[in-house]
């Protein structure tokens, strides 16, 4: 891959540089609640602008269905990017239409523009190669050079991620280069003990990465909604907790493999359980009980790991040399069920290990709970991309940049 530094050495002054960023930030009534992804790509954009490039930034946001939806507009992200750059950022109200063409044509050296949400065009996510390619052709008309720096999207075979680099001279941005370097430390250059913490709602989302990590990790700590399928597979009552019965046989197989290969697979020993899911809007006080993980009442749902599990998991992290964490340990959005996730974050902070927070809800939780991002070795901007890389999959966006 050509690096951005190599690209800058060749000279970009006066050239239109298309930066595929990941500005897919969470919004609440049009207000950004976590600008981490914008801050992560800002250094690449700033470098290009300072070198005199005419920078065209593009991204998706949310899951619009191939047509404009105001709730998914990138306008708030463009405004926040301008604040971070300390400069006006132009905004095009379409992707490849008259507004985009006029906005890009009006750029002068060192200026930055953001075009509207790429997923407002059906060609971006189309599974038809011709339709996707046609959209990539139109995007290519807006630029002279392509820089890929949207790590959170590199696992998608989308027009702006996979097809567009083939149509323009291309380079890898600073963020993606950093993310890939970190992931190599979790795959090819691992320092041990290597501890993996996996949470989140569905065990089906994590099966492939568990399959791969059973041959690489020393310990795997399980939490979140996915833990109840593991507990059920051990024969425990899980009440009305989140459960994927269709995955129980696979989970049993993985538990057996872990035992036979010497990988320590650790499950919760106690749980915070309630009959009512918490109100995440008002965050009204929740009513819950703390029970042993094998004694969840039939009418209650597990919503967080308990205090004994938090202490246990912290002890399993304490002597690690490498820690990868993906997925919250409970319903962290509610203060009464954020304790498990907070305990894991604190254990990473207290550890001397190289610690990686694997994007998505884990990264959001770290920020929501008030942790200093610099206290972690790395906070990824792409949960799904990180997991697929660790699964050993070929990521279309990375393959395109290597071509």
Q: Point out the catalytic residue in the list 199, 358, 384, 397.
A: 384
Query: How big is the CA angle at 244 (ends 24 and 64), to the nearest 5 degrees?
Result: 25
CA atoms within 13 A on the CB side of 191: 11
11 carries an active-site annotation: no
Calculate the alpha carbon distances from 139 to 49, 115, 163, 168 in Å.
Answer: 20, 10, 10, 10
Q: Which pLDDT score, from 0 to 100, does residue 259 have?
A: 94
Query: How big is the CA angle at 111 (ends 105 and 112), to the nearest 5 degrees?
Result: 85
36 carries an active-site annotation: no
Q: Which pLDDT score, from 0 to 100, does residue 389 have?
A: 92
Distance of alpha carbon 152 from alpha carbon 26, whole angstroms: 14
In angstroms, what is the C-alpha Rg of the chain?
A: 22
Q: Which pLDDT score, from 0 to 100, does residue 15 have?
A: 98
**pTM for the complete prediction?**
0.91
In this structure, are residues 289 and 337 in contact, taking their beta carbons and an 8 Å threshold?
no
Q: Which pLDDT score, from 0 to 100, does residue 121 have?
A: 98
Q: Which pLDDT score, from 0 to 100, does residue 403 have?
A: 78
Q: Point out the catalytic residue in the list 157, 167, 185, 202.
A: 202
392 carries an active-site annotation: no
Distance of alpha carbon 349 from alpha carbon 377, whole angstroms: 9
In this structure, are residues 143 and 169 in contact, taking their beta carbons and an 8 Å threshold?
no
Q: Which pLDDT score, from 0 to 100, does residue 5 have?
A: 96
Distance of alpha carbon 144 from alpha carbon 159, whole angstroms: 17
Residue with structure tokens 């490498």? Answer: 322
Q: Point out the catalytic residue in the list 306, 360, 383, 397.
A: 360
pLDDT < 50 stretches in the chain = none
Q: DSSP readout, 277-325? A: ---TTT-PPP--EEEETT---TT-EEEEE-HHHHHHHHHHHHT-SEEEE
Distance of alpha carbon 274 from alpha carbon 288, whole angstroms: 4
Q: Which pLDDT score, from 0 to 100, does residue 279 have?
A: 92
173 carries an active-site annotation: no
Q: Point out the catalytic residue in the list 16, 20, 37, 316.
A: 37
Contacts for 306-309 with beta carbons within 8 Å, 24 or more apart? 306/268, 306/269, 306/270, 306/271, 306/272, 306/340, 307/270, 307/339, 308/269, 308/270, 309/223, 309/268, 309/269, 309/270, 309/271, 309/340
Q: Which pLDDT score, from 0 to 100, does residue 101 have?
A: 98
Distance of alpha carbon 60 from alpha carbon 12, whole angstroms: 25
């Amino acid at each position: 891959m050509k690096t951005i530094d190599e690209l800058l050495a060749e000279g970009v002054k006066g050239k239109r540089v298309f930066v595929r960023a990941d500005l897919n930030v969470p919004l609440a009534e049009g207000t950004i609640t976590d600008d981490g992804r914008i801050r992560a790509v800002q250094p690449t954009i700033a470098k290009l602008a300072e070198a005199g490039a005419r920078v065209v930034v593009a991204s998706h946001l949310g899951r619009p269905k191939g047509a404009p939806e105001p709730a998914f507009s990138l306008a708030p992200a463009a405004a926040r990017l301008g604040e971070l750059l300390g400069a006006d950022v132009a905004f095009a109200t379409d992707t490849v239409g008259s507004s985009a063409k006029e906005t890009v044509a009006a750029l002068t050296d060192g200026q930055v523009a953001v075009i509207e949400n790429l997923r407002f065009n059906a060609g971006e996510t189309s599974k038809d190669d011709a339709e996707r390619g046609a959209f990539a052709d139109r995007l290519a008309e807006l630029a002279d050079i392509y820089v890929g720096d949207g790590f959170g999207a590199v696992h998608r075979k989308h027009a702006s991620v996979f097809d567009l680099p083939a149509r323009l001279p291309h380079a890898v941005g600073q963020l993606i280069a950093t993310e890939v370097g970190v992931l190599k430390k979790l795959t090819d250059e691992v320092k041990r003990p290597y501890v993996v913490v996996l949470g989140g709602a569905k065990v089906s989302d994590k099966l492939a990465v568990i399959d791969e990590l059973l041959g690489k990790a020393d310990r795997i700590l399980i939490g979140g909604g996915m833990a109840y399928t593991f507990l059920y597979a051990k024969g425990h009552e899980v009440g009305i907790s989140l459960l994927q019965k269709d995955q129980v046989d696979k989970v049993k197989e993985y538990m057996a493999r872990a035992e036979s290969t010497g990988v320590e697979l650790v499950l919760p020993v106690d749980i915070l359980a309630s009959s009512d899911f918490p109100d995440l809007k008002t965050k009204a006080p929740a009513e819950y009980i703390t029970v042993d993980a094998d004694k969840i009442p039939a009418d209650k749902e597990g919503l967080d790991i308990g205090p004994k599990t938090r202490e246990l998991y912290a002890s399993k992290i304490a002597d690690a040399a490498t820690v990868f964490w993906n997925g919250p340990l409970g319903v962290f959005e509610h203060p009464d069920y954020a304790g498990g996730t907070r305990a894991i974050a604190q254990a990473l902070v207290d550890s001397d290990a190289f610690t990686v927070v694997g994007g998505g809800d884990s990264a959001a939780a770290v920020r929501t709970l008030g942790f200093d991002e610099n206290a972690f070795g790395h906070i990824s901007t792409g949960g799904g991309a990180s997991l697929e890389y660790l699964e050993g999959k070929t990521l279309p966006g990375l393959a395109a940049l290597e071509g």
